Amino acid sequence: MSKKNICVIYGGKSAEHDVSILTAQNVINAVDTSKYIIDIIYITNDGDWIKSNQSINEKINDIEQLKLKCDELTPISKLLEVSNDGEAYSAVFPLLHGPNGEDGTIQGLFEVLDIPYVGNGVLAASSSMDKLVMKHLFAHRGLPQLPYVSFLKSEYEKYEHNIVELIQNKLEYPVFVKPANLGSSVGISKCTNKEELISGIDEAFQFDRKLVIEQGVDAREIEVAVLGNDYPETTLPGEVVKDVQFYDYKSKYKDGKVQLQIPADIDEETATTLRNMAIEAFKATDCSGLVRADFFLTEDNTIYINETNAMPGFTQYSMYPLLWENMNLSYTELITKLIELAIERYDNKKNIKYKID
d(CA 5, CA 84): 9
Q: Is 233 annotated as a binding residue?
A: no
Whether 184 is catalytic is yes
Q: Which helix (H) or strand (E) holds 1?
A: none
Task: Please tell me whether 77 is known to bind a ligand.
Answer: no
Rounded distance between C-alpha atoms, residue 258 and residue 354, angstroms? 49
d(CA 349, CA 160) in angstroms, rounded, equals 47
Q: How many CB atoms lie under 10 A from the CB of residue 159?
A: 13
Residue 34 annotated as lining a ligand binding site:
no
Q: For residue 58, say whether it is annotated as part of any ligand binding site.
A: no
Residue 220 is labelled as binding a ligand: yes
C-alpha span between 143 and 129 (Å, rounded): 18
Q: Residue 91: how many CB atoms within 10 A of its CB?
A: 23
Distance CA 307, CA 267 (A): 22
**What is the rounded distance in angstroms from the CA atom of residue 135 to the CA atom of residue 144?**
10
User: How many other C-beta atoms are found inside a 10 Å radius of the C-beta of residue 352?
Assistant: 6
- Is position 170 annotated in a ligand binding site? no
What's the one-letter identity of residue 207?
Answer: F
215 is an annotated ligand-binding site residue: yes
Helix, coil or strand: residue 88:
coil
Which amino acid is located at 298 in the chain?
T
Residue 275, annotated as binding a ligand: no
214 among annotated binding-site residues: yes
Residue 12 annotated in ligand binding: no
176: annotated binding-site residue?
Answer: yes
HSE-CB for 21 with a 13 A CA cutoff: 20
Check if 55 is active-site: no
Residue 351 assigned ligand-binding role: no
**333 annotated among ligand-binding-site residues:** no
Q: Which of the residues 127, 128, 189, 318 is marked catalytic?
A: 318
Handedness of CA 301, 303, 306, 311 (dihedral sign): positive
Annotated catalytic residue: which of 16, 102, 223, 239?
16
d(CA 16, CA 12) in angstroms, rounded, equals 8
Do the annotations mark residue 326 as ligand-binding? no
Q: Any known ligand binding at 154? A: no
According to the annotation, is 30 in a ligand binding site?
no
Q: Given 14, 126, 184, 288, which residue is catalytic? A: 184
Distance CA 143, CA 157 (A): 32
Measured at the alpha carbon of residue 348, what is the angle toward residues 344 and 354, in degrees to the nearest 5? 145
Question: Residues comprising the binding site for Mg(2+)?
Answer: 294, 307, 309
Question: Residues comprising the binding site for ATP?
Answer: 131, 176-178, 184-185, 214-221, 306-307
Question: Residues comprising the binding site?
Answer: 131, 176-178, 184-185, 214-221, 294, 306-307, 309
- Positions annotated as catalytic residues are 16, 184, 318
